[in-house]
């Protein structure tokens, strides 16, 4: 557990906001795009095949190899990736799927899109991942699967989750849309689910514009997901394949080329982001009344999706929003992390209201996602933290973190 940190109550005189490379706003995310990435996409644009073709297949093979999984199926987003996995497992109307309501990305929307009922379990206060101790009470005869996320890069408790899934004969799906590169008990995230889903849109480290990937070791599942994804031109005359109705959600070779190029230097990108994390930790130490990102037991390595700090309990949701607005006035793009799914109108029909999951609401109401990308400089991070410190003092600093 991270201890409270101390701060001098005096507000330092602040310099003007450091300019970004584009001049002006310090963005929440800024992809690491190189000339090699651009050349890879250009090569596809100069080829005769732009739609799902050999480059997409090469990206699938490389991604499966990176994780040590047998099969990878590319998709246009993490949401569609999860939808393919649910369809391949024949999960739909009448079924229930247990999931977390707490995430910056809204991959879990795929459960409702599949026609199944999402059943939300509350989260662990410190790590933000689904609380394994709250899952079994939610299991019914209609429960088919658990979707557990590696929230903001922090791995879930996969050993406990696998034990629960095995005990109740449930499918275990891993949402790694925010966590590429993180490790739990020596293994990379993406290796724990019966199927594991990744997303390649901002603000993650591997960015294709939009894109996703599902990995699995089950050949039947991989074949089914590909059939639900799209039919190949060579399969147009196939009666067997024609009997299924695909979503037509293949990944283009342009997207795959960018993903393949970035995957080849993923470790370099992650290492750059670790330096930015170090700068944040260095400056956040002087900020009393918050808790910086937490790393739980059995977690070997965390690669944060965003740098998220949690304000103390004296701060309200409205004061958190005021801090985000104050940062924007100073040309710093920050965001609330997150708007819990169960408080969104889409899920009211399932009986959820504010107050249903108190831990998720408490964490979400006081979480601020800070700019986090490889183009940040230490002086910018110092300015961001100082600006947030001053904004928090204006709305009620000195709060306990518990």
159 and 90 in a single domain? The answer is yes
270 and 257 in a single domain? The answer is no
Among 231, 263, 295, identify where a domain stops: 263
Query: With 60 as the cut, is the pLDDT of residue 1 above it?
Result: no
Query: Does any domain span residue 100?
Result: yes
340 and 197 in a single domain? The answer is no
Task: Give 3's pLDDT tier (boundaries 50, 70, 90).
Answer: very low
In three-state secondary structure terms, 239 is: helix
Dump pLDDT digits (tens) for 170-222. 999 999 999 999 999 999 999 999 999 999 999 999 999 999 999 999 999 99
Q: Using CB atoms within 10 Å of the CB of residue 134, give its burial: 0 to 12 exposed, 13 to 18 middle, 19+ buried.
A: middle
Among 243, 263, 283, identify where a domain stops: 263
Name the pTM for this structure.
0.89
CATH of residue 285's domain is 3.90.1150.10
Query: Does any domain span residue 144?
Result: yes
286 and 179 in a single domain? The answer is no
Q: Using CB atoms within 10 Å of the CB of residue 16, give its burial: 0 to 12 exposed, 13 to 18 middle, 19+ buried.
A: exposed
192 and 96 in a single domain? The answer is yes
Dump pLDDT digits (tens) for 220-238. 999 999 999 987 666 665 6
In three-state secondary structure terms, 69 is: coil
221 and 298 in a single domain? The answer is no
CATH of residue 155's domain is 3.40.640.10
The confidence score (pLDDT) of residue 9 equals: 39
Query: With 70 as the cut, is the pLDDT of residue 124 above it?
Result: yes
In three-state secondary structure terms, 300 is: strand
Dump pLDDT digits (tens) for 273-321. 999 999 999 998 877 767 778 899 899 999 999 999 988 888 889 999 9
The confidence score (pLDDT) of residue 395 equals: 78
The confidence score (pLDDT) of residue 21 equals: 44
251 and 293 in a single domain? The answer is no
Q: Is the peptide bond before 203 cis (omega within 30 degrees of 0)?
A: yes
C-alpha pair distances (Å), 9 with each of 286, 326, 390: 10, 19, 10
373 and 348 in a single domain? The answer is yes
220 and 299 in a single domain? The answer is no
Count CA atoms within 13 Å of residue 191 on its CB side.
16
254 and 278 in a single domain? The answer is no
Cβ within 8 Å of residue 168, ≥6 positions away: 136, 139, 143
Dump pLDDT digits (tens) for 366-387. 999 999 999 999 999 999 999 9
Structural domain span for residue 83: 35-263
Give me the number of domains the chain comprises. Answer: 2
């Amino acid at each position: 557990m991270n201890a409270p940190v101390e701060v001098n109550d005096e507000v330092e005189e602040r310099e003007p906001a450091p300019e970004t490379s584009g001049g002006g706003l310090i963005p929440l995310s800024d992809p690491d795009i190189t000339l090699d990435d651009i050349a890879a996409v250009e090569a596809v644009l100069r080829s005769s095949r732009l739609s799902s073709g050999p480059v997409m297949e090469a990206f699938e093979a490389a991604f499966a190899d990176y994780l040590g999984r047998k099969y990878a199926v590319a998709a246009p987003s993490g949401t569609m990736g999860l939808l393919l996995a649910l369809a391949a497992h024949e999960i739909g109307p009448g079924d229930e799927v247990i999931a977390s309501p707490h995430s910056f990305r809204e991959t879990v929307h795929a459960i409702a899109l599949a026609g199944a009922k999402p059943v939300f379990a509350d989260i662990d206060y410190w790590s933000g991942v689904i609380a394994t101790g709250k899952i079994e009470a939610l299991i019914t005869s209609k429960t088919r699967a658990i979707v557990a996320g590696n929230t903001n890069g922090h791995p879930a408790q996969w050993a406990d989750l696998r034990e629960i899934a095995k005990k109740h004969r449930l499918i275990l799906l891993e949402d790694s849309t925010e966590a590429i590169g993180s490790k739990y008990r020596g293994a990379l995230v993406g290796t724990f689910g019966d199927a594991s889903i990744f997303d390649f849109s901002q603000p993650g480290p591997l960015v294709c514009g939009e894109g996703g990937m599902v990995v699995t070791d089950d050949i039947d599942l991989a074949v089914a997901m590909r059939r639900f994804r799209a039919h190949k031109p060579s399969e147009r005359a196939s009666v067997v394949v024609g009997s299924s109705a695909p979503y037509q959600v293949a990944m283009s070779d342009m997207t795959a080329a960018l993903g393949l190029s970035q995957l080849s230097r993923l470790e370099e990108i992650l290492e750059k982001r670790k330096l930015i994390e170090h700068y944040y930790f260095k400056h956040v130490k002087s900020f009393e009344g918050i808790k910086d990102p937490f790393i739980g037991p059995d977690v070997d390595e965390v690669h944060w999706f965003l740098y998220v700090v949690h304000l103390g309990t004296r701060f309200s949701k409205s004061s958190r929003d005021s801090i985000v607005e104050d940062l924007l006035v100073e040309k710093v793009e920050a965001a609330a992390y997150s708007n819990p799914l169960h408080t969104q109108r889409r899920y009211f029909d399932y009986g959820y209201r504010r107050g249903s999951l108190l831990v998720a609401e408490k964490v979400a109401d006081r979480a601020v996602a800070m700019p986090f990308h490889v183009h940040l400089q230490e002086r910018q991070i110092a300015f961001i933290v100082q600006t947030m410190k001053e904004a928090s003092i204006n709305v009620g600093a000195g709060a306990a973190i518990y």
